[in-house]
A and B are shown apart, each in its own frame.
Chain A
Amino acid sequence: MAAFLDAKTNDRLTALGTPAAVGWSEDARLDAVTRLRTTGLPDRRDEYWKYTRPDAFTAPAATAAAAAEFEGFAGVDALTITFVDGVFDADASDDFALEGIEIERLATSDVDIHWAKDLYGVLETNGQTPVSRPLAALNTAYATDGLIIRVTGEVSKPISVVYLQKSDASDAILHHVVKVDAGASATILEAGPVAARANTVMEIDIADNATFNHLRLQGRDHEQATLTHTFTRLGNESAFKSFTLTANGTLTRNEAIIEMNGDDASAHVAGAALGDGGDFNHDDTVFVTHDALNGESRQVFKKVLRNGATGIFQGKILVKEGAQKTDGYQISQSLLLDDDAQFYAKPELEIYADDVACSHGSTTGAIDDHALYYLRSRGVPKAQAEDMLVLSFLAEAVDEIADEDLQDFILGKLETWLADR
């Protein structure tokens, strides 16, 4: 037990109480509490939280946020699982049966021995070095539900996790575990604002030759505080692609922590964000560790910001000694549509192998006047021409979506959102 616990961490832990004892996850939960008491919760003096204030996530209670309607992946053929304010909704969910995949819920999986015991809180713990992520430990300790998914074969359609918010004061902590067996492949879609305040974790273990695609729509709402962590571990010749589209309000921080553990693995993580208004704060924080041969990683993040919106990107590629032939790429770009918008970028490379190719770039710019003139000279009105150039700017990120139909779906969503802004 830590000798001193800061008031803020103490208040939050007191509000949460003792983690519920649920079978196999109990040890991980108690361990997470211990770790949390050691590190304490982050505050604005933390280097890792320099650009985004963590207060909304560390406060004992959630700040109220108006519930918003959200369509998500409507129209995409998928197995749908719905959570309302972080609570599973059986009536709005499909039967969990689908070939090549086994799905359970964390809240109802109360056996003592479970394969997920080797993953729950384990990838999260690995992801705590070299940077501590106390809010992810908090999630491991106090998650009330989540999906425990094992992919055993090739799954014919995506699993679509729909998050609906109905209560203005909901406060959700969800923790998903995904294990993709050797040679298997699956796609998971996540859509919606989750809750007034949300803290979600997804731990993903991708075995040799397996493929996992993750596509996330964080909605178009304006008051929620959302914090997500994805911890991904990749085996030999495995592939991971994750893309997030956000047109979200007050506060979003998406952390992606990726361990390239197997040789010849490939991980692409990308995001597109549309930010409008001074309340908008969108933070992508990525940490990729190469610890195997011939790994390929890409980070592609684009943000379109207007009316005082703030965008943040913190991205790191760590290449460990011996991770030869690593190919790491990182680009973060912002399009500032007016003088009030702000973009902060902190790209980092740390390389201990001598035969690697790593590159990073970050740009901040306005709409290209000449391109705008070109489009207008063809008769396209100014606002519509600007939207076309915004889509053009986001294209490189959208290109990272593995499936072409889903790519078109996202483009359609973007076009609609831009058109009736």
Chain B
Amino acid sequence: MLEIKNLHVQLEEEEKQILKGIDLKVETGKVHAIMGPNGSGKSTTSYVLSGRDGYEVTEGEAILDGQSILDLEPEERAAAGLFLAFQYPVEIPGVGNMTFLRTAVNAQRKARGQDELSAGDFLKEVRAKAKTLKIDADMLKRPVNVGFSGGEKKRNEILQMAMLEPKMCILDETDSGLDVDAMKLVAEGVNALRDGERSFLVITHYQRLLDYIKPDVVHILYDGRIVKTGGPELALEVEKNGYADIIAEVA
């Protein structure tokens, strides 16, 4: 589904190399996790894949479902089926959450040559999906993420994911700032979207989230490279011993 080949990325403003050759292949329907210490390049990977400004790809490519995506605009990547759940979802005062969701859903449908959803159909769908994420009518009416708690913001990200139905979901530290109950709720939302077709790349510091969203493959990212790949047991090893042993191994 998503193939990253020899990806080298530096900051546009300063010539600082952040990613130094990432190779990664997430197969259709699989869940891959990327773990790594602070500053290893985890968030950069998610930003570069989704098209945030400020990064320069110096080498390599990323292919989503057969299509090279690194030259596409962020909205084109979204329409191609990529979704990033933000670590820090952005507050947008004055724009209702529902309006935002409907605009996004219909923009993507339009880009794919589909008809826009009618107001009625959209409302029915969003209500059903919001309910499973315990998002009430008030949260749907309020401005996007404004005054939301940390947990509400993350649930709102998952609601967007559920409505947009992407092929490839990237979750950037979705567990950060969440208590256990909130994390469970978010994980349930994600798991409900696992249908054997949809792929996930879960970026996290801690093994904790992976207790609830079970990965097929775990990668360890360090200093801009994937230094180790394994099964779920690799995450448990990190939880027990930290990153020091693995880093020492490859150094």
Contacts and interface: CB of A to CB of B under 8 A. Distances in A.
Contact of B164 (A374, A378, A392): A378
Contacts of B94: 391-396, 398
Nearest to A394: B94
Nearest to A376: B74
Interface in B33-88: 50-53, 73-75, 77-79, 83-84, 86
Interface in A370-408: 370-371, 373-382, 384-385, 388-389, 391-396, 398
Given A379-B108, A380-B103, A392 B89 contact: no
B144 to A, nearest CB: 8
A6 interface: no
Nearest to B145: A374
B160 interface: yes
B180 interface: no
A126 B103 CA distance: 50
B107 A377 contact: no
B75 A396 contact: no
Given A392-B92, A393-B94, A396-B94, A377 B103 contact: no
> Is the interface on chain B under 10, 10 to 19, 20 to 34, or 35 or more residues?
20 to 34
Contact of B73 (A370, A374, A382): A382
Contacts, number: 81
A329 B186 CA distance: 41
A340 to B, nearest CB: 22
A369 B79 CA distance: 20
A378 B78 contact: yes
A374 B89 contact: yes
B93 A377 contact: no
A362 B86 CA distance: 30
Contacts of A377: 50-52, 74-75, 77-78, 83-84, 86
A378 B104 contact: yes
Contacts of B107: 378-381, 384
B75 A374 contact: no
A377 B157 CA distance: 12
Interface in A75-97: none
Nearest to B89: A374
In this complex, the member of A378, A385, A389, A395 whose beta carbon has the largest number of chain B beta carbons within 10 angstroms is: A378
B86 A382 contact: no
Contact of A378 (B53, B73, B160): B160
Contacts of A369: 53
Given A374-B92, A392-B95, 18 more contacts: A368-B90, A373-B51, A373-B52, A373-B53, A374-B86, A374-B89, A375-B92, A375-B100, A376-B51, A376-B73, A378-B100, A379-B78, A379-B105, A384-B107, A388-B100, A391-B94, A391-B95, A395-B95
